[in-house]
Amino acid sequence: MTEGFLPVCRQDMEERGWNQVDFVYVSGDAYVDHPSFGTAIITRVLDAHGYRVGIISQPDWKKDESIMEFGEPRLAFLVSAGNMDSMVNHYSVSKKRRQTDAFTPGGIMGKRPDYAVCVYGNLIRRVYKKIPVILGGIEASLRRLAHYDYWSDKLKRSVLLDSGADMISYGMGERSVIEIAEALESGIDMKDITFVAGTVFRTRSLDGVYDAVLLPSYEELKEDKLNYAKSFYIQYCNTDSFSGKCLAEPYGEHLYVVQNPPQRPLSGEEMDDVYGYPYMRTCHPSYLEAGGVPAAGEVRFSLISGRGCFGGCSFCALTFHQGRIVQARSHESLLAEAERMTEEKDFKGYIHDVGGPTANFRRPSCDMQYKRGVCRNKQCLFPKPCENLNADHRDYVALLRKLRKLPGVKKVFIRSGIRFDYVMADSDDTFLKELCEHHVSGQLKVAPEHVSDKVLRRMGKPENKVYQQFAKKYREMNRTLGKEQYLVPYLMSSHPGSSLKEAIELAEYVRDLGYMPEQVQDFYPTPSTLSTCMYYTGVDPRDMSPVYVPKSPHEKAMQRALIQYRDPKNYALVFEALKKGGRMDLVGYEKRCLIRPRKDLKFENDGASGEKNQKRKKTKKTIRNIHKGKRQGG
């Protein structure tokens, strides 16, 4: 097992006495040897199994020689766009180019191409005609079959076809990559490696594919969006490793993209192994002159306690990537990593996070998942907690207590998301008490996302009353502890199902909170989420019911502005939204009003409600009748 950084150039390779590497890993991110980065995990797993790996980070895709640093690898090229989809990395939801890239030295933008896995795959294939090319990472994982691409506003083919690659390793690929490596090592031809769970391959015939579910063809998907909604829901119901079927998507008459069932979740022991490798826990020293890699600093003193999420939010892609079965590391593994962290010279005594996709998930939602996996057509927390849900924070509480006692540790924060409905489902308030007492620094960030139950149903989130109950309980707990701490709710605008009516309802909630949120997430249609499917098709794939979708940039801007109605820059948009929504009763001088009238904008009470507005209308009518009578000589 290699100590120190893995080779990043030919000189590194030769200093180790190697004349060739087994794998070249090409990444859209700078090289950060920390277990929060997929590049670090996959390369360390291969290294631990005796394979020689070289890393090419952010190659210049316009130059063939940029991927020739190590020459041709003995077994394969591995390709990832990095920790983020390259398009999300590059563009805001309004499709404007971002100014910085946290995964690049110095935060410089432009060091990776758009649609990176396709560009890198074709670059490699242009130079090395026959070497196997295997895609992995979040971008390839969520684009493994036909998918809606928000940035081009088109339905795109599987990236396997557009990249020139031979295979996709989707999801968390530790097991898959070793099975692929061992198959290649044994001399099996790449085209015959069709048996590895958690992979996608292409084939001319389904004769050798066992028990495959045939999805609508790509041509049928383009022809009718409802076909895409049906296809997507089949995929959504087959993301579990216990019950998931093999899926085949036809392209023309003689080509299929086949998705094998997902890999089984890692055991606790396997998780400990993966996170126990000798990571350097920082970026490669060659980046220090440029100021380092911003994303590395954000996670350097954080602990990943688990993976997977049974929360089931419609706008989240975790179901497709990590799955719904929660896998957790042991206390011993986490404590050992924390102790190493305290020995680092820059450690100031603060562990910034102990969590994962959802911090307070440390076990599967019910014991049946250990044997049968997750339910196909039923969620654990939505619309209400399942009767089999085991809401239990005892293990997490015990872990946090141990971390707090470590020498050199002053404070342990929890900055990953807290699932508040899971907290409410736990009859024991110990976790909430210790959360408020030890792990919050003035503010706790939670994600109710919206207040309209109509929108929350589309989001896969609990009813608003659950959040209100949690907020009350949180306030009472802090009062009992003698602490002045606040809730900061994350809110989302323009999600499918949200019309101006629901957006105004959310604005009224913000008004009643008494402050303006600094950050508002406008819904971002990223590949392979239920919400993105709704955005593209106009139906909810779960029941095929029609869904209102705010698509125009102007309406999205109005919905966003409503949440931040106090910002003077948003006045015109808020005024227009209230007028279109028939809520001009919220323009005025009363305490309940969102904005005041302004001379440069015409004030009309179209659709306004309330006794005062009715009186105004009657008065105007009376005046009109008086004048009418005078004109007629009355």
CA dist., res. 627 & res. 621, Å (int): 10
Say if residue 215 is exposed, middle or buried (CB neighbours under 10 Å; 0-12, 13-18, 19+): buried
Cβ neighbours for 531, distance < 8 A, ≥ 6 positions apart: 314, 315, 458, 459, 495, 496, 523, 525
The C-alpha angle 621, 625, 629, rounded to 5 degrees, equals 175
Tokens found for residue 126: 């242009």
DSSP 8-state class, residue 498 = -
pTM of the predicted model as reported, rounded to 2 decimal places: 0.92
Cβ neighbours for 306, distance < 8 A, ≥ 6 positions apart: 271, 326, 327, 328, 329, 355, 356, 357, 361, 362
519: Cα within 13 Å, side-chain hemisphere: 8
Contact of 313 with 455, CB cutoff 8 Å: no
Residue found by looking up tokens 């076990």 in the block:
363
Q: According to the model, what pLDDT value does residue 589 have?
A: 95
Q: According to the model, what pLDDT value does residue 605 have?
A: 52
Say if residue 11 is exposed, middle or buried (CB neighbours under 10 Å; 0-12, 13-18, 19+): exposed
- Length of the chain equals 634
Helix (H) or strand (E) holding 76: strand 76-80
Three-class SS of residue 155? Answer: strand
Contact of 7 with 54, CB cutoff 8 Å: yes
Strands 154-156 and 147-149: antiparallel
Cβ neighbours for 135, distance < 8 A, ≥ 6 positions apart: 79, 80, 117, 121, 159, 160, 163, 165, 167, 168, 169
- Going through 450-485 in order, the beta strands assigned E by DSSP cover none
DSSP 8-state class, residue 96 = P
Residue found by looking up tokens 């303006």 in the block:
516
Say if residue 568 is exposed, middle or buried (CB neighbours under 10 Å; 0-12, 13-18, 19+): exposed
Q: Mean pLDDT of successive 10-residue segments in the chain (634 residues)?
A: 93 96 98 97 98 98 97 98 97 96 97 98 97 98 98 98 98 96 98 97 94 96 98 96 96 95 95 96 96 95 95 92 94 97 94 95 92 90 94 97 97 94 97 97 92 97 96 97 93 97 96 83 96 98 97 95 94 97 96 90 53 49 47 39
DSSP-assigned states of every residue in 21-59? -SEEEEESS--B-STTSHHHHHHHHHHHTT--EEEEES-
Q: What are phi and psi of 329, to 5 degrees?
A: -85, 160
Q: What are phi and psi of 273, to 5 degrees?
A: -60, -50
Contact of 235 with 191, CB cutoff 8 Å: no
Helix (H) or strand (E) holding 611: helix 611-631
- What percent of the residues of the chain are helix, what percent strand, and what percent coil, each to the nearest 5? 40, 15, 45
